[in-house]
Chain A
Amino acid sequence: MSPLYIARSREIAARELDGEMMIMSARNSTLFNLNELGTLIWQAADGATSLEEIVAQKVCPEYEVESAEALKDAEAFVRELAEHGILLISDQPIAAPAAPKEPA
């Protein structure tokens, strides 16, 4: 299976509250709340680290879960967030998008 890279969308608002991420889609104002595990994956979504590495390095040691099962669940989770447009996924590393230019 090819590696999966994940990056946080710029079209969101987000803040951590009490250890959990609140995320709001700028596209349609839908509000999401990620639990601690989801927050862990979200915060590691830098576009450069593969999901497999995130699961192996962050999730498995923290939650003492079996790697293959955790990866399967994590993949379903990130695909769901991607469907809502709040996370970007790719089989290639994702570069940080450039900020829009200031109007003249």
Chain B
Amino acid sequence: MSTLMQEMNERALKAGVPLSVQLDLTYRCNERCVHCYLDHDDHGEMTTAEITGVLDQLAEAGVFFLCFSGGEVLMRPDFFRLVEHARSLLFSVKVKTNAFLMREKEADRLCELGVQSVQVSIYSHRAEVHDAITKLPGSLKRSLAGIRLLRERGMKTIIANVFMRQNLQDYSGVVALAKELGAEYTLDPTITPMLDGDRAVLGLGIDQRELREVFRTPELVGNVNEFCAPPPAVDDDALDSVPCSASHTFCYISPYGDVYPCVQFPLPTGNVRQQKFLEIWKHSPQMNEVRSIRGRDLPTCSSCSHLGACTRCPGLAYMEGNMRGPSTQDCEKSFARTGIPSANMLAKAAASPIFSGGARLVQITGGQQPAVPTLLSTK
């Protein structure tokens, strides 16, 4: 992050300004990605007038960075009216789309409107892999054609690559594709549980061994020694730090007007159909509860050596049952980077059946083997 951007974040944090908001315009989508955390039915999306009204409120609240996402944003016929309204309010607009419906007209319009960047998820350079994930035949071809149209017009375009078991082996192909297209590349090794709490999709994610390999690939993480360095000693700064921007300088609004601390933090804090945005942002008890949490308030993580460098997501922790608890997926990432188990992992290991009941040690006395204490129970 640039120094100026960092300064801006700090000032916004101090002033209690929601610098960034993600607004999902719809959960409807033409793709059916195997790992998607959303239900794609329309349960009563906000109307054009409701959304433009929300945008007015967001501008008044000081929001600068606005991300339109979904679902697939181009499924909404009023999408460009909404972008136009957002740009007239001088938001820095980012759009997340699968680009399947991106034609010349749409690409032209995004450029004319001064959209800052467009992010497109690409899972593989091979159609058979990408299309099997999106469950939409022809989707890789169409998405790449959309990206090409955007790049030809000079639009900053970001290819986002979510790592799963079924596409991990193709990352270098996607990196090469991004290079060829002049697009930026970003990876995400985390699969998010469904918003309704269903965690079955997590089984699609890569395992610890694969994560370790990813984190040791310079092409993906840059300087491996730096990226995988042991965490710095936990000091007062770490203990007094806020876990992330959720509820501090960022929040998320669903197509139904529900406001949450973050897109993957489904704690309801209010609804813009019933309340003013600023009323929710400033006075929602839930928003203020999230805002009050510091490193030292986390029962397990405050005693963890990773605290100062952990990517702990309070939303994922919330989905595990406790917003002040650890996020196991982030513990696994910290472990994969450094080889140092987190406090959560150690606590879980200590509580596991292997250790329970007084840590049964089995002495093997038969044959020539020496007496070896083992952690394996014969029970």
Contact = CB atoms under 8 A, between A and B. Distances in A.
Given A24-B92, A100-B109, A103-B108, A11 B80 contact: no
Nearest to A15: B64
A13 B91 contact: yes
A33 interface: yes
Contacts, number: 63
Contact of A103 (B63, B105, B116): B105
Contacts of B8: 17, 22, 31, 33
A17 B62 contact: yes
A17 B11 contact: yes
Interface string A20-56: 0010101001010100000000000000000000000
Contact count band on B:
20 to 34
B214 to A, nearest CB: 27
Nearest to B91: A13
B90 A12 contact: yes
Contact of B116 (A10, A26, A100, A102): A26
A18 interface: yes
B64 A103 contact: no
Contacts of A29: 116-117, 156
A14 interface: yes
Given A15-B64, A17-B17, A31 B115 contact: no
B2 interface: yes
B114 interface: yes
A17 B92 contact: no
A87 to B, nearest CB: 14
A99 B64 contact: no
A85 B105 CA distance: 25
A14 B90 contact: yes
A11 B114 contact: yes
Contacts of A11: 114
A99 B112 CA distance: 9
Interface in B78-116: 80-81, 84, 88, 90-93, 105-106, 108-109, 112-116
Given A13-B114, A31-B4, A103-B109, 9 more contacts: A13-B116, A14-B90, A15-B90, A17-B15, A22-B64, A26-B92, A31-B2, A33-B8, A102-B80
Interface of A: 10-18, 22, 24, 26, 29, 31, 33, 99-100, 102-103
10 contacts: A10-B114, A13-B90, A15-B63, A16-B62, A17-B15, A17-B64, A18-B17, A31-B4, A100-B84, A103-B108
